[in-house]
Chains A and B, each alone.
Chain A
Amino acid sequence: MTGARGDICDVAVIGAGMAGMSAALFAAERGLSCIQVGNAGSLLFASGLLDFLGVHPVPERQLWQSPLEALAALGRDEPDHPLARLDADLIRSAFESFVTALGAAGLAYAPLGERNRKLFTSIGTIKTTYGVPRSMVAGVRVLEQRSPCLLVDFRGLREFSAAQIAATLGRNWPGLRQQRIEFPGYEAVPELYAAHLARALESGELRARTIARIKPLLGDARSLGVPAVLGLARASEVHAAFEAGLGLPVFEIPTMPTSVPGLRLRTALETVVSARGVLRRRQASVRGLSFGADAATITLELDGAAAGERVHARAVVLATGRFTGRGLTAERKQVRESILGLPVHQPASRAAWHQRDFLDPSGHAINRAGLLTDAAWRPLDAQGRPAWKRLYAVGSILAHQDWMRSKCGSGLAIATAWGAIEQVARDLRATATG
């Protein structure tokens, strides 16, 4: 086993969000020894939906049915966009690998296909996405057909109102009904938390009581929508039990973070990367990097729970995210990269960071700030040269993208991680043979 304390591992991944997890996963799958530093807290803010590319160009708010056609248009209009620098087939393979790995960890996704899918959210908006958990996929068909459907929610789950969804979507969907029920065993609890309900539903007895409460309400409904609380680690089993018990398709509706699908995603990713031999330093952060005199290794000095530990790697992947992930730090006068102080492509002054209208169609310029890299995903120094020959950057820290408006967050993370790890493998092979 390489990568243990004192040894040199092939690749160190800094960050454990969607991009860091993807990089660790893909590195392990390629047989590279890998150590990953950072906690996966940001995954709790994931919705469970895997966006590929839904909107382009952002200011025109043009939605795409086909992410591949969207990607082609993006490539023509924004060649600097990180996704535009990757081959479409390669991105699809990356998605397939990612979803297959999640499936192996018990988190099932619907087959990916070539099209984006639409489903409705907990506030009644319609979301275009690509990878959909199997527990949500019936919602896609229901929305297309606008067939008779019952939405059920639970009193006390504050961020989810079936009445709100039914009212918002009801004008063009006469068969959409809603009911509110008490969650069994929680009748005296004022505030319910999705994660508690999800855990409770893993108990066969509570699940049976919940199903029994819903069944008489179904009427002519041909499907049932519920907030995303159908189990945590055993979500597939809970979902299947609901469908069997009620005799119709059941779908979860994505909710506000921190969400149960986010928890499932985090658990599944942690399980799968650990199972593939990635060493994880979950509660650690990176205080600094130093580059060996021989230019062959890079040393990470850890902080937090692993303070004092040093990790040596032949390559480092920076997947530290943006401001929420702490990869970028916004000072009052400038944005800087948090660990190495790498140059950040950014607007000239803070006055240009944000639009005065929150939903301005163009989006906020600060969201397109980030690291510039060369074609091999290596971040550039102030002179425009790679900062170090085997330092790579992936995910949302990259410049020239606005994942929130383009609806390409997961795609950006998964695809750039795939691209960078492929590059890492190539570069390490070249070193070994060179």
Chain B
Amino acid sequence: MQTQVLIIGGGVTGTALARDLALRGVDCILVEKGDLNAGASGRNHGLLHSGARYVAGDRDAAMECRAEGEILKRVAAQAIEDTGGYFVAVQGDDERYIADFPGYCERSGIDARRVDVATARALEPALSEQAIAVFEVPDAAIDPFRLSLESMAHARSLGARLLRRSRVVGFEREGSRIRAVRVQSLGGAPELRIEAEQVVNAAGAWARDVALLAGAPLAMTYSKGTLLVTHERLARRVVNRLRRPSNADIMMPGGTVSIVGTTSTPVAALDDIHPTTAEADLIVEEAACMLPALAATRYIRAYAGVRPLVGAAGGADARAVSRGFALFDHEDHGLANFATITGGKLTSCRLMAERAADLVCRRLGVTQACVTATTPLPVAAECAWTEPGRSPRVWMRAHGLEDTLLCECEMVPASAVDAIYAALRAAGDTPTLTDIGLRSRVGKGACQGAFCAPRAVAHLYNRGDFQARRGLDEIVAFFGERWRGQHAVLWGEQLAQAELMEALHCGLFGEELREEESP
């Protein structure tokens, strides 16, 4: 295979880069070792920063967030719920910081408006009685899955190619140039050799490993962040704690749910990242100071991601390391056609892609300028199913005989599964149940897939898409993935739900005995 630019990593940055390059007429291939947004891009709180979070500590980051947030609200409105956000201080919080906050915001150009506490509590009844100060800022919620899926769909419509489940295993170097990249498909297909004029490493937390493979050492540290998902949405707006960034200081709207986090724990390795019960407890206890309902509410999920932080390991608190992004041209490593773009935030993904694309284009001699700040992201029908609340609307409108409801928690119709399946097939992929889960609301409701996953599998057999005993393997893989996000928050009602799920899948179906009782 040959291409002008090979992009490594299918997160928000890699997919935005593919789109940026494709819009400039540059041919590119994106290789992703798992699925889109498998790393931090799919494991964050989905905050489109107003910048207010960084006003005190990092004015540049604050201004960058403000500018990028405004751009994304214009060009990718379909992926954004423009809720606005509150910064809330409670009794005992640093009065000095509260007093300085409006000034900090002003010098970064961020519109922060003081809201009377009683008014704020009337508008967001979940706020604590202990609230002493509230400011409103232009924070918003963004669906990172929709963003990446649609960026990639747009890039592909312009000729870009995507290889999922394809891991970079080696670089062929010739002097200062990488001549080809060797890629291993997880499906067991023969190793691919991709010749590219330029290679961009957008592997997020895995950027250090990829760069090292190319012979370019990078100083990076990793910070694990855990978030919890509630069963119901507890506030309309983004709710931040008005203090310097710390544990459990934000609750995000996530469609029909709220997302609470985060933590920040330095980690040395990237494998086996999972949320722990201790992290879940810490979040519940700390966030309840600002939103008391969080102490008693039902949680359906937890997830953990790893933030790639550029720079050497310093003090104990990873929050001290810059959350800004970094673009390396690797020329000091003797490489002329390799670049790494990493670090950064969801909000800055478009800008990161622009900077990386600028470097690549300069090296390729391409003079077209970046247009992603002004070109709307086209809505792609098959990418829209991650949106909470969309499935029920579509289903209610067009409820046909052939369109049965597969998921009753999130109301996902069979037609959604069909559309996602068809889109993946059209791209030459072999879709799995987990792939469908990532692209829809299947498995995301209270039952966490206990009922809808078997229904989706039955549907795929009925269509003739699944053969032999594949469905059983897919159900097991799907629950394995869902369970990773459940075990840390299993108490109360959700533990009863998990028990029901085990009664069905082990008690009745005996899925744990599938090898002993091989059909």
Contacts and interface: CB of A to CB of B under 8 A. Distances in A.
A163 interface: yes
A356 B484 contact: yes
A61 to B, nearest CB: 5
A159 B454 contact: yes
A90 interface: no
B358 interface: no
B100 interface: no
Nearest to A323: B496
A323 B400 CA distance: 38
Contacts of B469: 124, 167-168, 171
Contact of B401 (A188, A254, A324): A188
Interface string A156-200: 101111011001111110000000100000001011000000000
A167 B404 contact: no
B328 interface: no
Contacts of B487: 353-356
Interface in A103-138: 118, 120-128
A404 B508 CA distance: 8
B475 interface: yes
Given A164-B457, A351-B276, A123 B503 contact: no
Contacts of A168: 468-469, 471-472, 519
Contact of A171 (B459, B506, B519): B519
Contact of A403 (B475, B491, B507): B507
A219 B470 CA distance: 28
B462 interface: yes
14 contacts: A55-B513, A120-B519, A124-B519, A125-B514, A126-B519, A158-B405, A159-B451, A159-B455, A161-B459, A323-B495, A351-B276, A351-B278, A356-B483, A361-B512
Contacts of A357: 480, 483
B277 interface: yes
B455 A171 contact: no
A349 interface: yes
A407 B490 contact: no
A158 B406 contact: yes
Contacts of B462: 161, 163-164, 180
Contacts of B402: 190
B479 A366 contact: no
B404 A156 contact: yes
Contacts of B281: 332, 350
Interface in A291-323: 322-323
B516 interface: yes
Interface in B66-81: none
Interface of A: 45, 47, 49, 55, 61, 63, 118, 120-128, 156, 158-161, 163-164, 167-172, 180, 188, 190-191, 254, 256-257, 322-324, 326, 329-332, 349-351, 353-359, 361, 364, 366-367, 403-405, 407, 409
Given A161-B461, A191-B405, A125 B509 contact: yes
Contacts of A331: 491-492
A127 B510 CA distance: 7
Interface of B: 274, 276-278, 281, 284, 399-406, 451, 454-455, 457-459, 461-462, 464, 466-472, 475-476, 479-480, 482-484, 487, 490-492, 495-496, 498-500, 502-517, 519
Contacts of A118: 517
B461 A358 contact: no
B513 A123 contact: no
Contacts of B404: 156, 158, 190-191
A168 B468 CA distance: 5
Closest 4 CB pairs of A and B: A161-B458, A358-B483, A164-B461, A354-B487
B513 A61 contact: yes
A161 to B, nearest CB: 4
A324 B509 contact: no
B519 A47 contact: no
Name the residue in B400, B468, B507, B516 with the highest tally of chain A Cβ atoms < 10 Å from its Cβ: B507
A359 B476 contact: yes
Given A190-B403, A350-B277, A359-B512, A332 B491 contact: yes
Given A330-B495, A358-B483, A407-B507, A158 B458 contact: yes
Given A332-B284, A409-B507, A123 B475 contact: yes
A190 B499 contact: no
A120 to B, nearest CB: 7
Contacts of B516: 61, 63
Contacts of A123: 454, 457, 471-472, 475, 509
A127 B509 contact: yes
Given A123-B509, A358-B483, A330 B490 contact: yes
Given A172-B519, A355-B487, 8 more contacts: A49-B508, A61-B515, A123-B457, A158-B405, A161-B459, A257-B504, A330-B496, A350-B281
B471 A324 contact: no
A354 to B, nearest CB: 4
A340 to B, nearest CB: 19
Contacts of B278: 351
Contact of A159 (B458, B470, B510): B458
A330 B298 CA distance: 12
A126 B510 contact: yes
B499 A256 contact: no
B507 A404 contact: yes
Q: Taking each of A45, A55, A126, A326, which has the highest tally of chain B beta carbons within 10 Å of its own beta carbon?
A: A126
A40 to B, nearest CB: 16
Contact of B490 (A122, A164, A191, A354): A354
A359 B506 contact: yes
B506 A127 contact: no
